[in-house]
Amino acid sequence: MAKFEDLSRLLERFVKDGPAGCGCAIARHGKTLFEGYFGYADIEEKKPVTEETVFRLFSMTKVIICTAAMMLFERGKFLLNEPIYEYFPEYRDTHVLVIQPNGNEVIKKAKNPMLIKHAFMMSVGLPYPFFNSPVARKMEKVKDDLEKKHGKYDIVTEVRAMGSVPVAFEPGTRWLYGYGHDIVAGLIQLISGKTVGQFLQEEIFDPLGMKDTGYRFRGDIESRMVSVYQKEDNDEMKRILGLFDEYHQPDAIYESGGAGLYSTVKDYLKFSQMLANGGTYNGERIIGRKTIDLMRTNHLDNVQLSDFTNSYLAGYGYGLGVRTLINKAEGYSNSSVGEFGWTGALGTYVSIDPQEGASVVYMHQMMPNMEEYHHLRVRATAYGCL
């Protein structure tokens, strides 16, 4: 059985080799069992990582966004098998971009509509605009045109405009990481009548006491934001600009569903504990237990699983916005079947285990994030401690 001292030693070893600093916490049934902070939030300023350090969540935003949307689902605001065009008419005539053997692009009308569940499942066929693919380049042009026309614009405006882009495959047939959860965020704003940030603040952050989580800088948040480092080939750490930090500025409008939130280890631990314990934390009911079970059920078929699976995600399927463990042996994992969560591009990680009422939150900010090396070791040690 691992001890929490083993986890501390592991994290101390991490920061000797890079990342510059990290934080980790484990809780079970609402009680924090471990909380540790190691290394520097900023090497040059010799500023240590502490419980007050703020991290960019990047794709760990997705778990919050999909939870928020499923709160609306369980209030009867939409159904997962409804076409997206019922809410965004721009998606009524979806087309598919087909690359022929000679490299020519042919655009054909989709046989089936894009459904809301496809957006949750990452099976809409829209990658991220910055990916290097024909569809991504068309999405990038849409963003460029929106910026020229509007300057700053919100997520609903962008989601509507993306309806004109031909998708990479027949909706619902494959799995492709990308824009699906931004469509989900647009749906939240459209249905609730509030900005995404307002809905999250009122429905999740305030009830859970997540005072250091949001899209926009406020108070002293910016000064507590961890610096981002690039790990060079010689293992030296070079500080680089924080990606997409412009969207944290108070005058920003855009609120992405796939990234964009910041948080602390302690704040995200509260959110993860809520999901680990049936939708309730500290007496606050956020979402129903059965809805969480639906989120953490694998929704991919065998073809989609082949798109999804890699060595980092071995043993996992994909649910409604979260990876979910479906085979402990294939995943080499000592967590439980049904353990779920996701990862952020700069090294953030959450593991949520309803069977144990436990959750693990780990955060660093480094490129490359070396997620497989760091996260799977944290998982093995953390669950060894449990």
21: containing domain = 4-72+210-385
Same domain, 63 and 130: no
pLDDT single digits (tens) 250-296: 999 999 999 999 999 999 999 999 999 999 999 999 999 999 999 99
| Per-residue model confidence (pLDDT) at position 339 | 98
Lowest mean pLDDT among 166-175, 179-188, 226-235: 226-235
Same domain, 226 and 374: yes
Q: Is residue 370 domain-resident?
A: yes
Same domain, 51 and 86: no
Same domain, 66 and 85: no
Average pLDDT, the chain: 97
The last residue of one of the domains, among 159, 192, 225, is 192
Query: Please, are residues 276 and 354 in contact by the beta-carbon 8 Å criterion?
Result: yes
pLDDT single digits (tens) 325-343: 999 999 999 999 999 999 9
Is the confidence at residue 1, as pLDDT, over 90? no
| Per-residue model confidence (pLDDT) at position 101 | 87
Which contacts qualify for 1-6: CB closer than 8 Å, 24 or more apart? 1/384, 1/385, 2/380, 2/381, 2/384, 2/385, 3/385, 4/33, 4/34, 4/385, 6/381, 6/384, 6/385
For tokens 């991919």, name the residue.
300
Same domain, 255 and 239: yes
- How does 337-367 read in b/e, with b if 16+ C-beta sit within 10 Å? ebbbbbbbbbbbbbbbbbebbbbbbbbbbbb
Is the confidence at residue 102, as pLDDT, over 90? no
| Per-residue model confidence (pLDDT) at position 174 | 98
Same domain, 105 and 39: no
How would residue 103 be classed by pLDDT, with cut points 50, 70 and 90?
A: confident
Q: Is residue 203 domain-resident?
A: no
pLDDT single digits (tens) 120-161: 999 999 999 989 899 999 999 999 999 999 999 999 999 999
Mean pLDDT for the stretch of residues 76-82: 98
User: Is residue 285 helix, strand or coil?
Assistant: strand
Same domain, 50 and 98: no
pLDDT single digits (tens) 202-247: 999 999 999 999 999 999 999 999 999 999 988 899 999 988 999 9
pLDDT > 90 in the chain, percent = 96
Same domain, 250 and 283: yes
Positive/negative CA dihedral, 284, 286, 289, 292: negative
Specify the number of domains making up the chain: 2
Same domain, 223 and 85: no
Same domain, 225 and 339: yes
Q: What CATH number should be reported for the domain holding residue 346? A: 3.40.710.10
